[in-house]
Each structure stands twice: as structure tokens, then as C-alpha cells.
Structure 1
Amino acid sequence: MNKVGARALTAAVIVFLSGVAAGASPAAAQEIGVPAAAPEALFTVTPERLVATTAVGSEETRTATLVANRPLRLTGTSGGAGSDTETTRSFSEGCPAGWFGSRTMQAGDTCELTWTTHPTKLQSLSQGVSFTAQELDAAGTPVGEPTLSSFALELTSAALEFNPAVAHGEVPVGRNSSETLRLTNRASVDALVTLSNFSGPFAVDERLLVQELRVPARGSLDIAVDFRPLEQGALTGSADLSYRLDNGSTERRSSYLRFSGVGTDEQPPVTVTAPPVDFGTVRVGQAVERTLTLTNTGVDEVAIETVNAAALQRLGITLGELPDYGYIGRGDSIEVPVTWAPKTAGKLAQQATFNAFRLMPARAMAEDPPGDIVVTVALSGTATEPTPPIDTGDGGDTGGTGDTGQTARPVPHAPTALASTGGGAAMAGWGVALMLLLAGGAAAALGLRKRG
């Protein structure tokens, strides 16, 4: 077949199919391989599935609407109050009355089914409505077989609302992270909650595991869930949560909590700050006490230890004991007394030195715990000489330079002997001269004897 013939045959097939689409019967369409369109449903219900979650002690209303798509007869809906006290059902005037009632509906007619839920306890239940629908022709005569249909309300009474999955994100190994699990009680009575079976590196305060936790009606309770990874990588854990209402009921509802987090090898820095200490001016022999403050400004708990206490002691500086064995919580401070009793005069320019390290679980500790730092505190002051003693004439010592109300007097010295021509001094001079003369004569006589 040439190209011109092929084109003609294709055009003929298109014209034929177009005719089938425009006026041919579905059977004819099926004969040539074209599927027939599915017939439209007799009616539709919106929403397709009605699910109600209502807080205990509350009341809510939900409605489902049935719409006829073609003429039909609807038979067998039930009306009035429900069979229990948790819900109430009602029907609009467009619905058949009672199980044996019927109503002819034209395309576009509606029938509304309403449920009012008012649960008084923790439970789940299902309530349904059954009916038959049969198509009618233009004369109002039933066509085909009637179709049995049903529609149900799935009611769940509720009290607590919470997110069952708690994610912590990335947390360095050995460091603690905390996320909040919020429990919100929508019920009109208090809820009593029990937590148990925490697994993995996730935990809560142990005191929360040995008692029922009360969540007030229409209120909330926040629970801190801690995550302290001891290894690197993605980590998961779980716990059980159950609760009951404090209204004398024995019904209890349970749930499963899931936790996740990632342990990393990066550690936040350890930071401890300390302002300098100035002793001011101190005299040798006196002592002055000041307070040295150390503050943990990091995100982990730390401990500190003194490094150079012995060296400072030789300079007359004494550090007091560290409170709580040097433990400092996150954002907390400790105070250490420090005393300076200078031994010599001069300027003081020294440092008190401490080691600070993060506190980590024993299983997470390495041989060299990461993040140790050295904290130095500048110590300054001026030592002056003690005041020389002042003789006040009564044999006492003033012991300082304070104002005594008296004028200091000089210490008296022995009189100096001066040469004179008379008196006792002159007689003493002649005596000395005579002694020298006699000594000289004796020496001369001794010399003559030796020469002879």
C-alpha cells in the first residue's frame, strides 16, 4: 500500500470513530474496541467517611449529606435518638422517615444525616445507618435492582493530646539535651497519667515514674525528656504512656512514645569566667580577705580544682576550700574566700589558677576528658612597710602612725666630752698627761739597762 492509500484509510477510521462517539450506542462502541463509560452512581455522600473525635465532657455536631444524581427512591433510614448516651442522630426532612419510610428524590435533592457526639467516658464506637436506593425512569417506575448501602459514624472519645514522637536533633556525646513532651487535656475532668519503660539514652526525672501525673481539666502538663548520647550516630528509644480520667471510671487508654536523636563527636566549649580580685593597700603584718567568684557560662555541668594553692601560700595568699567539691551547674557560680597577709612591702601581681572540666558519664569518659580548660584569676594589691614604733615617754610603743594626740620626742643621746681649762675636765686632763710621762720614763730606764 502506498502512502496516499494509507492516509485515506486512516482518515476513514477517524471519521467512523467520530460517528460512534457522537451517536453510536455503547454496544456498538464495545464492538469496535472502545470501552463504555461507567454509569454515574445513583447518589454521593459527603464526606465519604465520617470520623468524630470528641473530648470527654464536650459536645460536637457533624453532618453527612446524601445527594441524588438521578431520579431514585430512597428507603429505610432510621431516625431519632441513638441507642446510647454517647451520640444523638437526627435526619433532615429530605430523608425518609423510619426504617420502612420511602422518598422519591430527583437529581440534586439532598438528605442530611446529623450526629451530635457528647461522650462521657473513654471509648470508641461505631453507629451506622442502612438504606436502599433504586433508580426510577422518566415515568417514575423502578428500574433494575435496589442497591443496599450504609453509612457509619466512627466516634472516638478523647482526653489527652500530645505528639508521640519527640526528636532531639544532634547532641554531642556525653552532653545532655532536653525536649518538652506537652500533654494537653481536652476533657472536662482531670486526667491521671502513668509513664514507664523508657529505653535507649532517653529518660525523665525518676520521680515522675513512681506516681500518677495529674493533668488538669482543659489544662496542660510539660514533661522534660532528656537525651544523653553515649555513642555517635542515630539513636532511638521509646516509652509507654497510659492515662485514665479522674471520674471514678476504670477505662484506661495507652499510647507508645518514640524518641530520636543523633550523637556527635563535637563538644561545646567549657567556659568559666572569674573577675579579678584587688586587695587594695595592705600593711605588712596585716591580713585582708576578699571573695573570688567562678561562674560556669557554658552549656554543661563542670567541676574545678585548684592548681597553684601551695605557690600562693608562700606569698602569703591563702585560698579557702572549694564549695561542693568544685561543682558548678550550668549558669551557676561558686564563691571562694581568698586572704592576703603580705610578708614584704611591694606590688602584688599574681594569678590564682584552676582547672575546669565538663562532667560526663563514666562510660563516656575518655582517658583525657575533652574540653578541659585553665581558668586564671588576677590578684593585685599593694603592701606597705609597717609603721616604726614611737617613744611616748612612758616606755611604751605606739605601734603605728596613727594620730595619738601627742608630739613625738627625739630619743636623748649621751653628752659629748669637750676640752676645758678648769673644773673636773681639767683635772682629768692633767692626770692623763702624768700617766703618759711616767710611762715614758720607765721605758727610757729599761732601754738604758739593756744597753749596759
Structure 2
Amino acid sequence: MSTTLASVDPLFEVTPAQLSSTTAIGDEETHTATLVANRTMVLTGTSHGENADSETTASFAGTCPTGWFGSVTMQAGDTCEFTWTTHPTRMQSTSQSASFTAQELDEAGKPVGEAILSSFALELTSTVLEFESGYNFGEVPVGRTGAQELRLTNRAAVDALVSLSNIDAPFAVDERLLGEELRVPARSSIEVPLYFWPTAAGPASGYGDWSYRLDDDTGDKRSGYLRLSGTGNAEQPPIDVSATGVDFGEVHVGDTADRTITLTNSSSDDVAIDALNPVDLGLLGLSLGELPDYGFVPAGESITVTISWKPTKAGTLSRQALFAASRLLPARAATEPAPDIVEFAATLAGTAVGDGPTTDGGGGGTTDPATKPKPTQPKPAHPTPETQPVTENLPGTGGPGLAWGLGIALALAAAGGIALLRSPRRR
């Protein structure tokens, strides 16, 4: 409503100064403005009480003029009430008013001073969808995801169809929501996820387009945009990983004992885990099974790995299986520096028992072959074809070959071969 002319003693007062109605489509609300006369005056106005459209109905009550240009004399303290009933049936914003003039009267009923022109006014906005138009995600570590819920509330008595599009990076909405209209049932609410994926440190801002329409035949449509903001934080949350240890107990040399160790990721990010010293463990007869899913461990979850020990020497085992965990960041953060790497260990203990030499505390070591006793073989009582006596060749003798040569010489001598034997002496 337009304001009245200022005066030391105003002729009348209107409360409230202006009517404003935000009414859901399909609902009905009533709003009233009251004019109070401070002195005797004549009120002339245009009544809309007999007119009505699909959105509003107006009426006067009390000491009010009737007819289009009806007039009424009001005494100090008299009131005129103007009532506006809103019942919107479509999406729109409109302004409506009922104009009037007030003229002061003296004791004789004669007009005094200037007539004051004013009006009762109504600003009507029909309501369908209600939601916040701005979202700040605060600080989010680079490479991680910040999320908020866009809550859409349909106040209307008809279903609303909503579209979201053109979301500026690094902000996003579920891709499934970009290619189709979202249905928000009448008198109901739904929540739509919004995301902030910072790829660099510092503040970021963006926008997203929205539009909606009623699921009816009016064709009315409204549109606007979302304001999105957030700050990328270069500091990352810590990597928190751990491993259980095992005690193999007593294991006989040559036997194999299997145990399991559990690797737990208590971080807020997914990690990849690698074994660091499988070769060193293998030298002690220890073998580590394959890490499930190539060592991928989601945030807050664990994996179990088998570790086997087949000792080759007696002694005490006291070693650690070493691992490294690295944070897994999405591809959108691939341009950032390499993620942090954290090392952790699983303690391995046990005792190898057997007849072999003792190891040096599980640290390996060698035994001189020369100090190892040689096995002995029992001698048979009587030679047999399968077990002939072994004659060792001694240094400086001919052995069996020399005896065979002498036998040949004696035979030649007996056959008259003396000249052969003597021939060397003629030299």
C-alpha cells in the first residue's frame, strides 16, 4: 500500500501498511488491512468486493464505502476493514489494490484542507517449490568430496517437475538427475545431493541452472540458478593403517605353518597397500600370500593375508613383515603432488625346532660344510659280486695295473723269451 502523507496529526492510520501474501497453489489464505479514522472525515473509495478472479477475492467490512465510488462519513475511532482472500490456481506474481480518498470535515461537515489519496494494496505470489538458492560447502581437502543436500519442498496441491543443469565444476550433482525431470509429489519434499570436488587449494564458486513446472496443463514455468561456493584445502587427513602380528609357536624344521595377519585402514580415504620386504622374508622360509584386490582397502575396512613359515634351521624367529600404504585420490586430483605414503609392520615370532644347527636369532647365517660329520658305510663280512672290496689308489704305486704287467713278463720268460729280458743289459 502506498504511504499516507505525513502530518503532525495524521487524519487516519492503516495497519499493516501493505498486504503481502505468499500462498501455495491450491491453498487459501485471508489477509486483512484496517483503516482507523483519527478525526471526522469522509472516505470515498472503489470497492472490489463484488469482483473476484481465479486468484483473489476482496471485500470491505465495518464503516467502509460501498459501490465503486461510494462515500461514508467516519468519526474519530471508526474503522474500515479490507479483507483479501487469496486462492491461487497457477504460478504467478501479481499486485492488486483498492484506491480511496480521505477528506477531513469540520464541525459543520464542510471539507477542510487537501484530500488524501491512498489505497489498500496486495502483493500476491503463488508458491510451488521452496528451497535454498545458495550453498557453501566450507573447506574440503583437495581430492576429496564435500556434499550437501538440496531439499526441494513442494507446497502446491499438484506434483512439480524439476530440472537441474549446467552445474559449474568443481561442483556437481548426481548425473542421473541431469537427464530427466525430478518429480516432487504434492505437499512433499525430496533431497537432491550436491557435491564439491576441489582439485586445487583456494576458494571456488559456481552456478547451476534450475527450472520447474507444475504437472498440469497450464504450461507455467519458473527458472533461476543456484549459487555454489567452497574452499579447497591442501591439507589432507592422516593415513591411519595397522597390522596384526602372529606367533607361529613351535614349528619343526621342514614343516610348514600358516597364519593370517589383518591389515586395517582406519583412514577417511581409500588406500593401496604394498608389501616391502617379501624377498628378505623368503630367505627365512617365510612367504606372504597375495594381497586381496591388489592391496586396495576402502576407508574403514580391513583385508586378511596368509603368511607361511617353513623353517630350514632350528632357532628363534623375530622379524617384521613391512608394508606401505598410499592414499588413493580420484583422477580429478591427478595433477596434485604424489599422495602421502605411510609404512607399518606386522610382527612375526616363533621357534623352529629340530636336529639341525641353531640359527642366529632368525637372522640367517651359514654352517661350514667341513665341520659336518661324514656318513659311514658298513663293510660286508664276505665279498659278493654285488659288494666287491674297494682298493684305494695310493700315491706312488701302480696298484692292480702293476701286478697285471708283472704276470705278463713271467709268462714270456717261461716261453724262452730270456733274450728279451736280458736285452737291456747289453746296452
- Report the TM range for the smaller structure's normalisation: 0.7 to 0.9
In structure 2, the partner of 1:80 is 49
Structure 2 residue runs without a partner (length 5+): 1-5, 356-377, 379-427
Aligned ranges 1:43-192 → 2 under 5 Å: 43-80=12-49, 82-192=51-161
CA shift for structure 1 position 195:
1.0
CA shift for structure 1 position 198:
1.0
Give identity over the alignment, percent.
Answer: 57
CA shift for structure 1 position 258:
0.7
Contact 1:176-1:300 within 8 A present in 2 as well? no
SS in 1 for 2:176: helix
CA shift for structure 1 position 312:
3.1
CA shift for structure 1 position 101:
2.0
CA shift for structure 1 position 290:
4.4
CA shift for structure 1 position 77:
3.2
In structure 1, the partner of 2:238 is 269
SS in 1 for 2:62: coil
Pair 1:340 & 2:308 matched? yes
Contact 1:274-1:377 within 8 A present in 2 as well? yes
In structure 1, the partner of 2:223 is 254
TM-score by length of 2: 0.73
Contact 2:93-2:123 within 8 A present in 1 as well? yes
Q: Distance in 1 between matches of 2:180 and 2:349?
A: 55
In structure 2, the partner of 1:326 is 295
Query: What amino acid does structure 2 have at the position aligned with 1:335?
Result: I
CA shift for structure 1 position 369:
2.0
Q: Deviations over 1:129-161 (max 9, x none)?
A: 112221211222222443332222111111222
Query: What amino acid does structure 2 have at the position aligned with 1:328?
Result: V
Q: Distance in 2 between matches of 1:53 and 1:122?
A: 11
Query: What amino acid does structure 2 have at the position aligned with 1:171?
Result: V
Contact 1:283-1:384 within 8 A present in 2 as well? yes
CA shift for structure 1 position 286:
4.7
Following TM superposition, the consecutive aligned residue runs of length 4 or more in structure 1 with deviations greater than 6 angstroms are none
Query: What amino acid does structure 1 have at the position aligned with 2:306?
Result: V
Q: Distance in 2 between matches of 1:347 and 1:81?
A: 105
TM-score by length of 1: 0.69
CA shift for structure 1 position 196:
0.9
Q: Distance in 2 between matches of 1:213 and 1:346?
A: 70
SS in 1 for 2:212: strand
SS in 2 for 1:92: strand
Structure 1 residue runs without a partner (length 5+): 1-36, 387-413, 415-452
Contact 1:73-1:103 within 8 A present in 2 as well? yes
Query: What amino acid does structure 2 have at the position aligned with 1:297?
Result: S
SS in 2 for 1:325: helix
Distance 1:306 1:249, change over 3 A: farther
Specify which structure has the higher proportion of helix: 1
Q: Deviations over 1:283-339 (max 9, x none)?
A: 5555454444333322233322332233334444443433343333333x2423313
In structure 1, the partner of 2:364 is none
Distance 1:135 1:335, change over 3 A: same
How many residue pairs match? The answer is 351
